[in-house]
């Protein structure tokens, strides 16, 4: 395999991360923002796997494994919070959850 | 001819035969299921089309072909059309990992080309290192077909069906996956051929005896994964009209049905491989490689047929669960039982190692 | 050769669907776009010699997390809820400019870095990953994540249940 493939994987990871970050800033639906965060996590996973491939070790794979476990836990709690929020405000617009805003 | 070309030809033939075979078994299943149900309810069932109604699947197919393709107003067209495709593709992709009864040996007949004589053909499309994890991944993707169908139909019955099925398959997949872990612990491998090879010898070596609780969990969770009675809540025709495929007609409906039956066949084949010894006959003097490997294939086919009949039998016998009972049963009975049994098996394996 | 073809196909698919995720009005389309991104990333992982991570990606992300997202979307029935792009136009422009600046910066670093291609034979098989995962280096972290999962389980139930 050529080194450029690893390099292009890293570039793809940057592009996906940027798109995810852009989504977090531009969208207002809580669930969409949440999905953009998942997109960013996945971009990082791709970088881990690419570096792992480049270095010839397996540590990156294990880190991806941990990222996925944390993402699963985060999704479970986060979606529970979304359901609770929707119950209180009857909307998913992030701008309406401003009770703790100063 | 180079070995690569030979391998490619062999694999292509195996893929085509498996695909055709699955389609054949699917169409036979639709007929046999109706005949078995009819027999259990003192009816005749479809017996007019051809001998014993054998051409009924063909007639059904022709009928479905010529029905009008119908997309309800307000439905999400793209997802509505995509849903049956997703369901069928994931269902067929997951069959790639299943071992269909050991290996066949081509007899050394003189009219066959040189490289084919005595060649051992594995009856499996892909023997991956990740093994049954691949099947787990694809069966979890299969949910999307149902969810998309339910949501895209713009119909409240379909939506409830899709909602139910996403929660149900999600929950029972967990129990299904946990029921595989003892087998993997005992065999020390994810590959199906090695799992089958680990059950050679007398039939009491089969995993279903030593790992009986896991087998039980597998059968129950597998029934739920295949959306069969008593776990057919996503369709539940008495409550939800037809659940997630209420709005589907014609070939799209046929594809959804096909995906369900192929899933059921996969669950049966996997159960036969993991718990019932797969190609092993259970008699050490009758190895699966006997008679060019046909013995192994027949033993495997008989086990799959047994599983399928069991599913039909369940449908003829049991009433449907209520939805809250279903979730309680999955999370509070099956998952704890499977998890505790993993602890027991892991302890025994560690103690014996 | 075949690796490159697969890689660039999956990469293009991932990029296009990532744009769908952030550009679509309906959160449902975003969710399906994200599913495609996850599946194509799984393909890229397989091309990069990590079959175990590729399968786990499908099981955990595509099979579990995204089903959960879709379940919540259907439960709350946000079918046609409009999701306009937030903020004022200058703010959006600023966000886009900052994001592209960030991307350009990191991409420039990657493009200039000397990235070794790694060993010719590389296959992170299940057994190798598992041996590292259960080695003393990661074992305690692994146990800690199991407690994290348990905490998340309890937390999710407490948050979502109306009355305990």
CB-nearest to B167 from C39, C51, C71 is C71
Taking an 8 Å cut-off on Cβ atoms, the answer to whether B143 and C62 are in contact is no
Q: Quick check: B189 and B348 in contact, CB under 8 A?
A: no
Q: Phi-psi region for residue A56, left (φ > 0), alpha (ψ -120 to 50) or beta? A: left
Model confidence pLDDT, tens digit, residues B129-165: 788 888 888 888 888 888 888 888 877 788 888 888 7
Q: Is C87 in a helix, a strand, or coil?
A: coil
CA distance B123 to B17: 10
Q: B65-69, B107-111, C25-29, C108-112: which range is least confident on average? A: B107-111
Chains C and A touch (3+ CB pairs under 8 A): yes
pLDDT for res A23: 85
For the cut 80, the answer to whether the pLDDT of residue A98 exceeds it is no
CA distance B99 to B131: 10
Taking an 8 Å cut-off on Cβ atoms, the answer to whether C28 and B151 are in contact is yes
CA distance C150 to C164: 18
What whole-number percentage of chain B has pLDDT above 70? 97
Contact list in C for residue B133 (CB cut-off 8 A) is: 52, 55-56, 59, 126
Taking an 8 Å cut-off on Cβ atoms, the answer to whether C64 and B170 are in contact is yes
State both tokens at C40: 């194509």
pLDDT for res C79: 55
User: What's this model's pTM, rounded to 2 decimal places?
Assistant: 0.86
Taking an 8 Å cut-off on Cβ atoms, the answer to whether B137 and C58 are in contact is yes
Q: Is C153 in a helix, a strand, or coil?
A: helix
Crossing angle of helices B56-66 and B250-274, in 10° steps, is: 140
Taking an 8 Å cut-off on Cβ atoms, the answer to whether C152 and A74 are in contact is yes
Q: Quick check: C74 and B162 in contact, CB under 8 A?
A: yes
For the cut 60, the answer to whether the pLDDT of residue B70 exceeds it is yes
For the cut 60, the answer to whether the pLDDT of residue B260 exceeds it is yes
Identify which of C69, C48, C73 has the alpha carbon closest to the alpha carbon of residue C60: C69
Identify which of B163, B155, B139, B177 has the alpha carbon closest to the alpha carbon of residue B259: B139
CA distance A67 to A64: 5
Of A102 and C64, more confident: C64
- C147 has a chain A CB within 8 A of its CB: no
Q: What is the distance in angstroms between the Cα of C109 and the nearest Cα belonging to chain B? A: 35
Which of A2, A7, A12, A70 to mutate against chain C (most C CBs within 10 Å)? A12
Q: What is the distance in angstroms between the Cα of B256 and the nearest Cα belonging to chain C? A: 19
DSSP state of B332: I
Fold classification of C1-79 is 1.20.120
- Domain ranges, ordered by start, for chain C: 1-79, 134-164
Taking an 8 Å cut-off on Cβ atoms, the answer to whether A9 and C44 are in contact is yes
- Domain ranges, ordered by start, for chain B: 73-352
Residues of chain C with pLDDT under 70: 78-88, 163-164
The chain-wide mean pLDDT, for chain B, equals 83
CA distance C149 to A61: 19
What is the longest distance spanned by two Cα atoms in chain B? 64
pLDDT for res C82: 57
User: Of how many residues is chain B composed?
Assistant: 353
- Domain ranges, ordered by start, for chain A: 3-96
The chain-wide mean pLDDT, for chain A, equals 85
Q: Cα separations (Å) of B129 from A59, B132, B187, C127?
A: 19, 9, 14, 9
Per-residue b or e along C60-70, where b marks 16 or more CB atoms closer than 10 Å to that residue's CB: bbbbbbbbbbb
pLDDT for res B238: 65
Q: Cα separations (Å) of B146 from B74, B136, B159, C98, C124?
A: 18, 17, 10, 40, 33
Run of H or E residues at B172: helix B156-187
DSSP state of B68: P
Contact list in B for residue C51 (CB cut-off 8 A) is: 128-130
Contact list in C for residue A61 (CB cut-off 8 A) is: 50, 52-53, 124, 129, 132
Identify which of B165, B323, B142 has the alpha carbon closest to the alpha carbon of residue B242: B165
CA distance B175 to B179: 6
Radius of gyration of chain A (CA): 17
Which residues does residue B104 pair with via DSSP β-bridges, in sequence order?
B121
Q: Is B122 in a helix, a strand, or coil?
A: strand
For the cut 50, the answer to whether the pLDDT of residue A1 exceeds it is no
Contact list in C for residue A20 (CB cut-off 8 A) is: 18, 22
pLDDT for res A46: 92
pLDDT for res C85: 54
**Chains within contact range of chain C (3+ C-beta pairs < 8 Å):** A, B
CB-nearest to C148 from A9, A17, A73 is A73
- C130 has a chain B CB within 8 A of its CB: no
Q: Using CA atoms in the order B263, B268, B269, B270, what is the torsion angle rounded to 10 degrees?
A: 90
Identify which of B207, B219, B204, B184 has the alpha carbon closest to the alpha carbon of residue B342: B184
Taking an 8 Å cut-off on Cβ atoms, the answer to whether A27 and C151 are in contact is no
CA distance C76 to C95: 30
Taking an 8 Å cut-off on Cβ atoms, the answer to whether A77 and C57 are in contact is no
- C134 has a chain A CB within 8 A of its CB: no
For the cut 80, the answer to whether the pLDDT of residue A3 exceeds it is no
Fold classification of A3-96 is Helix Hairpins (1.10.287)
CA distance B98 to C73: 34
Q: A48-57, B58-67, C20-29, C35-44 — which one is most confidently predicted on average?
A: C35-44
State both tokens at B13: 């033939």
């Amino acid at each position: 395999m050529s080194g450029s493939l690893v390099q292009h994987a890293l570039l793809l990871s940057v592009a996906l991360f940027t798109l995810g970050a852009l989504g977090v800033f531009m969208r207002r639906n809580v669930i969409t923002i949440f999905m953009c965060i998942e997109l960013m996590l996945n971009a990082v996973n791709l970088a881990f796997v690419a570096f792992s491939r480049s270095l010839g070790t397996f540590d990156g794979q294990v880190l991806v494994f941990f990222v996925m476990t944390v993402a699963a836990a985060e999704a479970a709690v986060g979606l529970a919070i979304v359901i609770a929020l929707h119950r209180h405000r009857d909307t998913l617009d992030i701008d309406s959850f401003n009770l703790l805003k100063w | 001819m180079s070995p690569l070309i030979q391998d490619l030809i062999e694999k292509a033939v195996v893929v085509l035969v498996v695909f055709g075979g699955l389609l054949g078994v699917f169409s036979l299943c639709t007929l046999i299921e109706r005949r078995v149900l009819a027999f259990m309810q003192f009816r005749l069932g479809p017996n007019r089309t051809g001998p014993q109604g054998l051409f009924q699947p063909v007639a059904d197919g022709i009928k479905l072909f010529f029905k009008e393709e119908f997309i309800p107003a307000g439905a999400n067209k793209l997802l509505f059309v995509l849903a049956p495709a997703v369901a069928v593709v994931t269902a067929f992709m997951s069959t790639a990992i299943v071992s269909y009864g050991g290996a066949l040996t081509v007899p050394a007949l003189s009219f066959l080309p040189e490289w084919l004589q005595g060649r051992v053909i594995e009856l499996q499309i892909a023997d991956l290192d990740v093994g049954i994890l691949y099947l787990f991944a694809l069966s979890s993707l299969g949910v999307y077909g149902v969810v998309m169908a339910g949501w895209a139909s713009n119909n409240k019955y379909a939506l409830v069906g899709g909602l139910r099925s996403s929660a149900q398959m999600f929950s029972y997949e967990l129990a299904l996956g946990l029921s595989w872990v003892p087998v993997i612990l005992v065999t020390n491998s994810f590959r199906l051929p090695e799992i089958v090879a680990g059950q050679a010898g007398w039939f009491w070596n089969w995993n279903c005896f030593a790992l009986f609780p896991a087998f039980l969990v597998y059968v129950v969770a597998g029934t739920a994964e295949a959306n069969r009675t008593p776990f057919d809540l996503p369709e539940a025709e008495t409550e939800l009209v037809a659940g997630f495929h209420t709005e589907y007609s014609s070939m799209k409906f046929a594809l959804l049905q096909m995906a369900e039956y192929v899933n059921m066949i996969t669950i049966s084949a996997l159960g036969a491989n993991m718990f019932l010894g797969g190609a092993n006959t259970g008699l050490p003097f009758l190895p699966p490689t006997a008679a060019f490997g046909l013995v192994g294939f027949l033993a495997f086919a008989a086990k799959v047929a047994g599983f399928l009949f069991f599913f039909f039998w369940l449908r003829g016998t049991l009433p449907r669960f209520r939805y809250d009972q279903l979730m309680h049963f999955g999370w509070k009975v099956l998952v704890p039982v499977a998890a505790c049994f993993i602890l027991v098996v892991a302890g025994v394996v560690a103690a014996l190692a | 050769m075949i690796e490159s073809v697969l890689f660039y196909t999956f990469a293009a698919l991932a990029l296009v669907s990532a744009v769908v995720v952030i550009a679509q009005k309906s959160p449902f389309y975003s969710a399906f776009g994200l599913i495609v991104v996850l599946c194509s990333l799984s393909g890229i992982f397989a091309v990069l010699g990590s079959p175990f991570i590729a399968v786990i990606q499908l099981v955990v992300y595509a099979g579990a997390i995204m089903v959960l997202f879709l379940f919540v979307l259907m439960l709350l029935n946000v079918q046609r809820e409009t999701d306009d792009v937030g903020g004022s136009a200058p703010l959006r422009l600023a966000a886009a400019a900052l994001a592209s600046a960030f991307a350009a910066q990191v991409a420039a670093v990657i493009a200039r870095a000397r990235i070794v291609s790694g060993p010719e034979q590389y296959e992170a098989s299940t057994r190798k990953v598992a041996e590292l995962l259960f080695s003393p280096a990661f074992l305690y972290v692994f146990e800690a994540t199991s407690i994290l999962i348990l905490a998340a389980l309890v937390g999710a139930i407490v948050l979502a249940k109306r009355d305990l």
